[in-house]
Amino acid sequence: MNDNAPQTPPAADPIGREEELQNLTKRVEQLEKDKKELLAVIESNKTTPSLSLKEGISVIKSLRDRKDYLKMLLLMTRRVVSAEGVSILLWDPKSDELYFEEAVGEKAEEVKKFRFPAHEGIAGFSFTTGSALAVADATADPRFKREIAEAIGQKQKAIMASPLIYHQEIIGVLEAVNKLDNDVFSQEDLETLSSIANFASFMVRKYDEDLYREDGESLKLAELVEEICNFGEEESRLITDSLESLRNYLRKRNPIIRNDFFP
């Protein structure tokens, strides 16, 4: 046998290429759907779509409907962490249950019908311990709420959750399901989710307390940040760095806020 003879390249796997193409097509279709939903929410509140700090503040200022606000937040979160679905679960103190307050994704409407004991599931673990966690394969985790996934017909694998903490009180959980491209959520993804959860908990409670109004502290803070950002990019970076430093200081000061990462 001649070792120098040209080697025949392995035949392409048509099934594998077809599955890859189907996954890419599905992802593009979902991104287009997300774009339409996000733009619809923004248009309904007469705002300009932008993820800059300045215009992001303008979007938040314009939102007066709790459902619109939460949906916009979840759509943006979904894009940032590249998840198939994202949901906010809140605690019902009367029944000691978690329920899906809002969700985005293919199974959003189905999952919002469920509630379960606050100590159950991966979300329940995050709620009861005050810990953020990322699970690579939920089906192998005993905390996994398999019955909900089966009921809505969704194959769930990678899941991450972060508690919503307001003034050292845990009021719910922000959860992301299934990393796109069958990947797993990274530590960076979890840190991002936790940062969004910290902000979301503040806004959710403000809506609950009916403090988010034109003369409220939240709006005044938003207007102050927006005014500083109007001076230019350098000032915008300065206020961003200052707020992040304050957030990190508060996290260290409050031991209940912690991130535990699970393989």
Is 143 in a helix, a strand, or coil? coil
Higher pLDDT, 259 or 244: 244
Residue 212 contacts by C-beta under 8 Å, 6 or more apart in sequence?
A: 64, 203, 206, 218, 219
**Arithmetic mean of pLDDT, 213-238:** 64
Pairing relationship of beta strands 159-166 and 169-179 according to DSSP bridges:
antiparallel
Read off the pLDDT of residues 165-208 as tens digits, 9 standing for 90 and up. Answer: 988 899 999 999 999 977 899 999 999 999 889 888 887 877 66
Q: pLDDT tier at 76 (50, 70, 90 boundaries)?
A: confident
The pLDDT of residue 73 is 87
Strand ranges, E, within 113-158: 115-117, 131-135
Give the pLDDT confidence of 94-122 residue by residue, as tens digits. Answer: 999 999 999 999 899 999 999 999 999 99
Q: What's the pTM?
A: 0.61
- Measure CA 261 to chain center: 17
Residues belonging to the chain: 263
Pairing of strands 169-179, 258-259: unpaired
> What SS3 state is found at 254?
coil
What mean pLDDT comes out for the span 206-226?
58
Q: Which of 150, 183, 161, 197 is nearest to 27 (CA)?
A: 183
For residue 52, the model assigns a pLDDT of 52
* Residue 207, both tokens: 């809506």
Domain ranges for the chain: 16-259
Two tokens, residue 16: 């594998």
Given pLDDT bands bounded at 50, 70 and 90, which one contains residue 5?
Answer: low
Q: What pLDDT is recorded for position 84?
A: 92
Pick the CATH number of 16-259 from 3.40.50.2000, 3.30.420.40, 3.30.450.40, 1.10.10.10: 3.30.450.40
Residue 203: predicted pLDDT: 79
Q: How far, in Å, are 14, 15, 88 from residue 21 at the CA level? A: 10, 10, 31
* Distance between CA atoms of residues 22 and 8, nearest Å: 28
